């Protein structure tokens, strides 16, 4: 089982570092929770459970671990304020989904948000999720 206390401390450290570096405290952030599994079918089950819980999921990718064994990875994605209690709540929700299928949780990440930028890497509207794309994805 993953140590929530350790994850919470890490979350606070990441947020502090981002804000100390000048990242915009008022921005919405793309939070990517990193998930891995040696069994692709089990990884897919985690992705389905995360999607059913309301999260976006990225395409799975295949890598080799340090021993040359295939490992499959994807991200559970949300767009939220950069607040520790929000990320803590997400971890409390998604960790049981990952553990249920014996997956591996490799923490979370996000991107620096420049408070002086007119637009971000997602365009003028600053939204990661395009409503048309989300609706289209649900139709397939």
DSSP state of 45: H
Contact (Cβ atoms closer than 8 angstroms) between residue 113 and residue 106: no
* C-alpha to C-alpha distance for 3 and 65, rounded to whole angstroms: 23
Q: According to the model, what pLDDT value does residue 121 have?
A: 54
pTM of structure: 0.83
Phi, psi values for residue 11, rounded to 5°: -60, -45
For 59-117, what is each residue's pLDDT tens digit? 999 999 999 999 999 999 999 999 999 999 999 999 999 999 999 999 999 999 999 88
For 28-47, what is each residue's pLDDT tens digit? 999 999 999 999 999 999 99
CA angle 37, 42, 43 (to 5 degrees): 50
Query: Is the pLDDT score of 25 beyond 80?
Result: yes
* C-alpha to C-alpha distance for 38 and 31, rounded to whole angstroms: 23
Walk me through the domains of the chain, giving residue ranges and CATH numbers.
4-110 (3.30.70.970)
* C-alpha to C-alpha distance for 136 and 46, rounded to whole angstroms: 21
């Amino acid at each position: 089982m993953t140590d929530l206390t350790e994850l919470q401390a890490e979350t606070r450290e990441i947020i502090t570092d981002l804000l100390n570096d000048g990242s915009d405290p008022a921005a919405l952030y793309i939070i990517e929770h990193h998930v891995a599994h040696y069994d692709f079918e089990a990884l897919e089950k985690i992705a389905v459970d995360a999607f059913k819980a309301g999260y976006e999921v990225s395409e799975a990718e295949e890598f080799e671990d340090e021993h040359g064994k295939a490992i499959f990875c994807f991200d559970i994605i949300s767009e939220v304020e950069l607040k520790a209690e929000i990320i803590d709540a997400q971890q409390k929700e998604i960790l049981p989904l990952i553990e249920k299928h014996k997956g591996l949780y490799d923490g979370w990440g996000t991107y620096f948000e420049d408070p002086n930028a007119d637009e971000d890497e997602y365009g003028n509207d600053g939204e990661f999720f395009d409503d048309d794309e989300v609706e289209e994805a649900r139709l397939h």
